[in-house]
């Protein structure tokens, strides 16, 4: 069972996605903000992070930069989840250190495919 850290401030999105991932056999740890997500990445050592970009306390780009700057967490793959689907947003996520990018609303099969590719 892979341990996934889901950093998402929207309760409905957090609840829906975490339940769907748990039904697929993933252990899901939840954080509602960037600072909490960074702390959980260090303490829980998830195998993958799903990072919302629009977070209230610290946006997902900066949270990812901090996770990637820390020797304890830099090897954890990060997939950005965002409604930002404008030209250049994918590159901005990759520049922040995310390994991949996916848009909301989440297409679970597409997201699972990206997750599985990074968990190998």
pTM: 0.96
Rounded to an integer, what distance in angstroms lies between the CA atom of residue 103 and that of residue 34? 18
> What is the reported pLDDT for 37?
98
How far is Cα 4 from Cα 1, in angstroms, rounded to an integer? 9
DSSP state of 47: S
Question: What per-residue confidence (pLDDT) applies to 120?
Answer: 85
Q: What is the per-residue pLDDT for 106?
A: 93
Phi first, then psi, for residue 50 (nearest 5°) are: -105, 115
Q: Terminus-to-terminus CA distance in the chain, angstroms?
A: 13
**pLDDT score for 89:** 84
For 67-113, write each residue's pLDDT tens digit. Answer: 999 999 999 999 999 887 777 888 999 999 999 999 999 999 999 99
- Please tell me whether residue 100 adopts helix, strand or coil conformation: strand
- Reported as a pLDDT band with limits 50, 70 and 90, residue 9 is very high
Q: What proportion of the chain, given as a percentage, has pLDDT over 70?
A: 100
Q: Nearest Cα to 46, choosing from 115, 93, 117, 114? A: 115
- The C-alpha atoms of residue 8 and residue 73 are separated, in whole angstroms, by 18
Q: What is the pLDDT of residue 53?
A: 93
In this prediction, residue 55 carries a pLDDT of 94
SS3 (DSSP) at 27: strand
Please report the pLDDT score of residue 14 as a whole number.
Answer: 96
């Amino acid at each position: 069972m892979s341990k996934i850290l889901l950093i998402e401030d929207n309760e409905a999105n957090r609840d829906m996605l975490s339940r769907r991932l748990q039904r697929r056999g993933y252990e899901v740890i939840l954080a509602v903000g960037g600072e909490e997500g960074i702390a959980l990445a260090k303490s829980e050592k998830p195998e993958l992070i799903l990072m919302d970009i629009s977070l209230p306390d610290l946006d997902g780009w900066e949270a990812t930069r901090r996770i990637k700057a820390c020797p304890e967490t830099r090897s954890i793959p990060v997939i950005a989840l965002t409604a930002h689907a404008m030209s250049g947003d994918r590159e901005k996520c990759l520049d922040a250190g995310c390994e991949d990018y996916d848009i909301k609303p989440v297409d679970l099969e597409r997201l699972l495919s990206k997750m599985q590719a990074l968990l190998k």
